[in-house]
Amino acid sequence: MAHWVKLAGHAVVAFVVIVLVAPLRWLPWRAALTIGRWYGYAGFVVYPVGRRASQINLRNIYGPAMSRAEACQQTIRVFGSLGQALAEGLQFSRRFAGGSAGWDHLFDIEDAELHQQIVNDPRPKVLVTAHLGSWEMTVAAAGLRMGHGAVLMRRIDNPFVEYLLRRTRPSQAPFIGKHGGAAAAVAQLERRSNVALLLDENAGYKGVWADFLGRPASTHRTAALLSARTGSLIVVSAAVRRPGGRYLYRLARIEPVSQPDSIGAVTQQITSVLEQWIREDPLQWRWIHWRWKTRPDGTEETYTGKDLRACFAPTPAANLSRKGDTHS
């Protein structure tokens, strides 16, 4: 009985998802993206933990120059960007599934020569991206340009939503479960097929420490390990928005290494590339994630209302400065 109750709950959630997703997939491109942004703004209202995490992350990276009001305004824009990314992925999937004509006209390749070198390289590729710009379109475009492979990702507990995700994602590549999927990913690369993954999430205490936006961040070693194990080329990519509905397609390549002690250095290389792109388009990145939750000293960052107030509390130096201004 409990199984059927749980299954019914999953079905209800899936129905709600379908109702919300349908406009993003079937409306015209611009209308869908506008609605997607408004979905994101709604997320700002109903997801307080993400709202607080974003403001705390922004303050920690940009320092006292980032006021709470500015952090709040930027967080709203971040939520809107995430909603738009959802709509972009769904629209791209509907219009260009299987590589239908016209998909490449959306992109301006930043370095055409590097792009051609990567495409011509016969080695299998570990395709790495981040939650930056339109990351679903990034993965799909990489597959269309460099050959399809598999996507390494966490599976969703709801089987109905998992099915919908598989049917509507722009990338037509099969999925490999993120947990316990290393062997399958290695086998994929050894068959000279590509593997795509995201590398901007907190890795907990199993990750390696990489400097990310000026702070130590626990980072997954997956890309570096897969590359070292199989001799695959690492390709870092992102599709960031530009005026006029265009997307700048950014690329970097990192050669494989075989020394185990180089895994951390390669992970840092990947992280540094992503950091550079995020610094240039900060409001297109997912600041709402607890990227720095795990700390090197063994403690964990939290994102309560108390943490938010403490993060933006005036420093003693600032209080003294204000008192001096009052008496002058």
pLDDT of residue 11: 77
pLDDT tens across the length of the chain (328 residues)? 777 777 777 778 777 878 889 999 999 999 999 999 999 999 999 999 999 999 999 999 999 999 999 999 999 999 999 999 999 999 998 998 777 778 989 999 999 999 999 999 999 999 999 999 999 999 988 888 887 788 887 777 777 666 776 677 655 567 777 677 788 899 999 999 999 999 999 999 999 999 999 999 999 999 999 999 999 999 999 999 999 999 999 999 999 987 777 999 999 999 999 999 999 999 999 999 999 999 999 999 999 999 999 999 987 654 433 334 433 3
Tokens encoding 107: 């992109």
Return the domain boundaries, the chain: 2-284
Q: CA-CA distance, 45 to 48, in Å (whole number)?
A: 7
User: 225 and 84 in contact (C-beta within 8 Å)?
Assistant: no
Instruction: Name the CA dihedral angle for 160, 162, 164, 170, rounded to a multiple of 10 degrees.
Output: 180
Residue 219 parent element (H or E): strand 215-219
Q: What is the pTM of this model?
A: 0.91
Extract long-range pairs of 101-104: CB within 8 Å, 24+ residues apart.
103/141, 103/144, 104/141, 104/144
pLDDT of residue 318: 46
